[in-house]
Structure 1
Amino acid sequence: MAKEGVKGQNIIFCPNCGENKVLNMDGASSLALFLLGCVLFLFIVTIPVAIGIWIYIYRKHKKGSRKRQFSCQACKHTFFVEADTASKYDEAIK
């Protein structure tokens, strides 16, 4: 349904109105699909990694070999002490 005397391309026309001012949207849909794939891939990869890190941190804190931080009141020096020593300290100052 080509119109006579129309400037521009004469290959593809709108099936509704017959205009030749059309735009190829293949690139946009491919880009959108690619970006969606990237986002899904990031979620699929990062969520198991985050869960693994949480499990590691939980197990590390649960073990009891966790060091506790202390601060000297005289010189303000901070240092770490093993958990069993810290629990003995807690019992001694009660």
Structure 2
Amino acid sequence: MKRYRIIEARVAAYPVLHLTFDDGVEGDYDIGPFIERGPMFAPLKDRAFFEAVAIGGNGRWFGWNLDHDGEEIDFSTDGARAEIERQNVEEMARQYREGRIAAAE
């Protein structure tokens, strides 16, 4: 399995991040469901804190407070990549069903 790296992480619209990977794949990743899961993610309810998303581990994870051991909130690149790929495939299937994909050359 290829190990992808994130090269850009920015807030699309709270609580959604727009992630770009080293191979050009990009998409939105909704952090909202995590925020509702428990106290560990509570700081992400603060929009100013949420805006401070960062990339760590040479692009292998992203999150907040990455330079504060024991206080960091981090997410795996692999999980985000899988979700974004799923969304992209669903969108392609939707377009195909609607007849919007051009015929191959």
TM-score (norm 1): 0.30
Structure (1/2) with the larger strand percentage:
2
Larger Rg over CA atoms? 1
Instruction: Point out which structure has higher relative CO (alpha carbons under 8 A, 6+ apart).
Output: 2
